Structure formats: C-alpha cells, structure tokens
Amino acid sequence: MEIKNYVLGDWIAGEGNEIYHYHSITGEQVSSTSSKGIDFSAVLDYGRKNGSVALRKMTFQQRGEMLKSLALYLHKRKDIFYELSKATGATKIDSWVDIEGGIGNLFANASLRRQFPDLPYYVDGQMANLSKSGSFIGHHIMVPKRGVAVHINAFNFPIWGMLEKIAVNLMAGVAAVVKPSEYTSYLTESMVKEIINSKILPEGSLQLIPGLGRGLLDFVDHRDVVTFTGSAKTGKLLKSHPNILEHSVPFNMEADSLNACVLGEDVSEDSEEYHLFIKEVYREMTGKTGQKCTAVRRILVPENKIDGVQQKLIEKLEKTVIGNPENKEVRMGALASKIQVERVRENVDILMQSQDKVFGNLDDFNVVDADKEKGAFFAPILFRNNHPFEKDQVHNIEAFGPVSTLIPYKNTEEAAELVALGKGSLVTSYVSNNDQLAKEFVVETAHMNGRILILNSRCSKESTGHGSPLPLLTHGGPGRAGGGEEMGGVRGIKHYLQRTAIQGHPETITKITEQFQVGGNQPESSPHVFRKHFEELEIGDTVFTHKHTVTTADIVNFANVSGDNFYAHMDETSLEGTIFEERVAHGYFLLSKAAGLFVDPAKGPVLLNYGIDECRFTKPVYAGATIGVRFTVKEKIDQKKKDEEDIAKGIVKFLVDIYDETDETVGIATILTMVRKLDQTK
C-alpha cells in the first residue's frame, strides 16, 4: 500500500519509495511512502492563499464551532484507527491516548471560543489612556499570521501529535502543513483521510507530507510558524536552518527530555502516596513502551527508602507481559520500529557504563504471541545510580524506551538540584501529601520545568497523571526540553497571532476592536436597549438613566436586606483613621440601584442577565450624593443554535458606568446578557 501526500487539494504520490513501513509486532511490510518530487514552495503557497485566507474570514466563534463539528465527526469514526494503530506496537490503552486523546484536543480547543471575541482577530488586554483628556488611547490587537503552520512531528503519537497542534493553529485562523514522522505516517494519513472526507475544514487548511519532506524548510518565510517535536539534537539542527534564521521564522521546539518523578521525604511505605508513586513510575516506564516525550527517566527517592522502592518496582516489572497487543494478557507492546530498538540499545549501553542495571535484559526476555526477532520488542530496563553528581550521564543521555534510573537523594534541596541537572524538562512529578514540602519543591524546580504534577491521595482519583499534557495548559519546557510551548489554552492560540499596538481616538479604537472604549461616542438609544434584538444593537448604544439621590435610609435599608453591617456603613464613630469622611454607601447598593435605574422591566428581547465582570467601586459615595448611570453596549458575541428548538440568541456585554453629581465615575462593571435575535432561523 502506498501512502500518498495530501497537497494542493489532491492525493499525490511521491517519486519512488523513500520509506518502507513495517509492522512493529510481525515485522511485515505495511506500506511505503515518499514526498520526493513534491513542489514544497507551491504547497506552502497553496496553504497561505487558500486555507489561511478562508480561516481568517471566520470569527473565533465560527472556528470553534468548526473544531467541535470535526471532533464529533472523528469521534464517531474512532474505531477506524485502532486496528492500524496496532502496527505501531501500541496496546489498546496506548492507542486510546493517541486517538481519543487527540480528538479530545479538538474538543478542548473548540471550547476556548468562549474566551475570544466574535471577531476574526483578538483584542488583547486593557485600554491604555495615553492623554490627559482621554482623546488619545492605546490598545493591542492580535491578528492571524498570514502564512502557514508547518508541523514536524515525532513518531510516537501519529494522531495526537498532529491533532494537538492543528487544533491550536486552526483556532487562530492559520492553515497547517503537517509532516509527521515518516516511520508511522501511515496512521497519520488514515486520520487525515477522514478529516478531508468530512469537508468540515476549508480546503487548504490541512496538507500532509508523509515522506521525508527534505527541502520543506527551504521555502518558509516571515509569514509562517514552524513547530517541531522530537529529539533535541534534530530540533537544534532544524532551528538553525539558514532560511529560519534569515526570515526570523518563529520556531517552537518541544524536545524529549529527562523528566523526573520524585518521592517526597514525608511519604511512608505504608501510605497511599507510596503506592501511587510506584504505580505512576511503572506506568510511565511501560506505557507506550516508554516512547513518550514526558516519560519518567529519573526516579528520585529518599536514600532511606530507595531499596524498598527498587524491590517494589522490580516486582511489578517482572509481571509485565510483553508481546502482541491482540493478546488480552499483554501489557506492553513493541517499539515503533527496529530502528528505534537500535537507538535505545545504543543509549542503554552508554548508561550501563556509569550505573548499575538492577533489572532487565537486552536479549533474554519473553514475548507472547509474537516472534521476538521479527518484531521491534524491547524489555524494561531499570538502572540505579548511587552517585548521580559524579556519574552524570543519567542527566545527559535519554534512552527513548522503557528505560529509567533510580536515584537516591538526601533532602528536598538536593532533590531539586538533581532535577535541575537535566537542564530543562517537560514535566516533573512530586508525590507527597505535605503541602509545605510540595511548595518548597515547586518553587525550587519550576525554573527548569514546563509542568509540575503534585500527586497525592487527595487528587489521585481524578489526576490525569505524569505523562498527560493537557490542552488547556502549556506543554513544553526550558533548556533541553526545547524552550517552547505548545497548546496552553488561549496562550497556545496566541502563538499563531501577531500582537500589534494600536493608538488613536477612542471612537477609532472602538471601531477597530468592536468593543466600546471609554471616551468614544455614546449615542442615546431609542428605543431603550432592552427593547432591541441582538441584530439591532450597535456598539456604543447608550441609555442615560434617571438619577437618584442616596440617603441614609438607603444605606440602613440595604444593610438590613443584605446583612452587611460593616462598620464603614453603619458606625460613624469608628471612621477615625480610615479613608471615609462619613458613613459610606455599600458598593453593592450602588450596583443594585444602578440596575434599578437602567433596567427596562417589561418583557422583551433580553432573556437573562447571567454575570458581572470587572466590577470596581472607585469613589466613596455618601448620603446626599446623586448618582446616574451610563449604560452602554460594550461588545456583542454571536451564538449558534444548539438545535432547531433552541432560541436564536447572542451574548451582549453592557458597560455600567455609575457617576455622581460631579460627573465622576464612582463604580463601573460589565454585565453579561443573553439577547434574543430578530431572525430565529440563525
């Protein structure tokens, strides 16, 4: 079977066969592929001029709905990928992480649409007042880059590796060109086929190069973004590509690193944390046959407990059944390829020169329902290094398989020092039920880690574990781990956006951001804004309310109703030494009274008020002060109907500006409302 390139809107075969794919369990040839002869310049240009252009025309809300639809489509077809995934050596649970974990990334990123405006671009942060009278202000917007995202992915997660990256760039409005590892690209191709068949993404949004892809980076330019996952050595080579340097192309690297799992000093052998630690380390050694960029390579244990931990780990490793995942007894499959077997062996040989092997054999091990010589099998290897400061290869050499090293430490300070010798990790886990120790460890090691998991009995039932990067949190790390970040919720999406400062009059900035800026035009709304449907409301539409003079009775009555008898409201004799001159009105009375002033009570298009953002009380209000409200349409966010029975509606944010008789703002807030649409078909 020939694995083709999906480029320029078609499935195209490369010249010859650059790579042959072999079944990791049986050794039989699965397929072949090549990207030789593909015009990479045309491929990148096609993505820029078709996919990226179409995506940029969509709002964040529309892109989020697109990702959600794609996730639902793929989830219904997930079983298609499991059979082929076995060829990579994956067990059912390994495949679940790769396939359904990848689809889960689409769902998670789709949900981020709620944190973005209903625009093709992002309005970042708060307005900055740059002038005395407020006629000149500044802001920031972030627009999609005008190129493509070029993803160079590793062999170990053929589906997750692609989906976790493209989910982010698609949300940002940038097309992708994916070059998966050629060794497992047959599985990536099967996923891309389903994505293309769905016709959910605009054409050109996703292109696939399953072969070697040599020369691809020769054609990237300043508009593009390159991301790489794999070995630090290869990543550094690509990062220094002359074309990357010449055009200052953003390059995000997520490299394999020497991650650690640390048993806290407080943990006793009869505690639940002790058993959690053994379980977590074992899972990280054997899950995905140790072929995870997040896998535990260094096992740090208090020196008085290391013998016991070693014994428990060996007991579990001895029971590990290696072989064909088709057999239900098998708990660990094969490495992805024979090439990987040789690479892991080479690094095991190096590590063996400086530390003791306490479990495992490179050649003498059994496999179930498979031929050990034909498949890419590798048995777990456990080392012990009693002198980690002198024999430091453990902090420099990574065997990318089921290989890890036990390391003793004296105290938390030394444990942190040992973790840092890895020169940057994607993740470190700390197993402890002592929050003070956890705090000390995290503060001392955060500078060398992209993520830290604190695991104990209180969170273990819902913890996703050491090896699971989560789409709403950053995935990456400093130093050896690559110095970059993938995913990370809104942060990840911003990686594909260009931040630009904008300066001008508030009305101009309001027009650009489609968010009302203080100082902009506030035309009086007629009829009242609560009488208007979603489509009829314009940014800046304002209701100027009647006014109310605050009385002492207001303060007393609100205290009685709310139960808030704070001394500043109720005891004039206690105000000495405070900022208050006399009894002050409750801030929440002002907000409540403001609602009484701006609400039009009759039934209309407004369905409900469901929240308040950014509420501030900026000036004390005493009895005798007169307040009014400027109630302004601040921002509108369209919503898609969930089904035919759903009410067509949108979200409207209103700015509540409460001012006194001097025209000075005394309180300000944003309220969130759902407003019915005039057109109930949308």
For residues 171 and 122, the answer to whether their CB atoms sit within 8 Å is no
**Catalytic member of 273, 280, 293, 635:** 293
- Respond yes or no: is residue 462 known to be catalytic: no
In whole angstroms, what is the distance from residue 183 CA to residue 291 CA?
14
Q: DSSP letter string over 174-189? A: -EEEEE--TTSHHHHH
State residue 258 phi and psi, 5-degree precision.
-90, 80
User: Which tokens hold the place of 14?
Assistant: 């490369």
Tokens describing residue 47: 């993505």
E-strand stretches of 89-201: 122-129, 137-144, 148-152, 175-179
| Distance (Å, whole) CA 606 – CA 201 | 34
> Is 459 labeled as catalytic in the residue annotation?
no
**Paired tokens of 358:** 């306490």
Cα 267 to the chain's mean position, in Å?
32
Catalytic residue among 164, 254, 273, 486: 254
Cα gap 51→64, rounded to integer Å:
16
Which residues touch 597 (CB under 8 Å, ≥6 apart)? 545, 546, 547, 548, 628, 629
Backbone angles phi, psi at 607, to 5 degrees: -90, -40
Residues 401, 380: Cα–Cα separation, whole Å: 8
Say how far apart CA 576 and CA 283 lie, in whole Å.
63
Q: Which tokens hold the place of 418?
A: 């040992």
Gap between the Cα atoms of 641 and 639, Å rounded: 7
Q: Identify the CA nearest to 134 among candidates 512, 521, 499.
A: 521
Contact 336, 301 (CB under 8 A): no
Contacts of 409 (CB under 8 A, 6+ apart): 262, 300, 301, 302, 303, 415, 418
Question: Residue-wise over 608-641: b if at least 16 C-beta within 10 A, else e?
Answer: eeeeeeeeebeebbebebebbbbbbbbbbbbbee
302 near 270, Cβ under 8 Å?
no
Among 443, 450, 355, residue whose Cα is nearest residue 407: 355
Instruction: Return d(Cα 349, Cα 360) in angstroms, integer.
Output: 13
Give CA torsion, residues 198, 201, 205, 208, to 10 deg. -20
The residue type found at 234 is T
CA distance 57 to 368: 54
Three-state DSSP class for residue 497? strand
HSE-CB of 12 using CA atoms within 13 angstroms: 17
**55's tokens:** 């995506």
Beta-bridge partners for 670: 613, 655
What type of residue is 142?
A: M
What are the tokens at 512?
């650009």
Specify whether the CB–CB gap between 74 and 201 falls below 8 A. no
SS (H, E, C) 266-323: CCCCCCHHHHHHHHHHHHHHHHHHHCCCCCEEEEEEECCCHHHHHHHHHHHHHCCCEE
- Rounded Cα distance between 616 and 662, Å, is 18
Give catalytic residues, as residue numbers.
254, 293
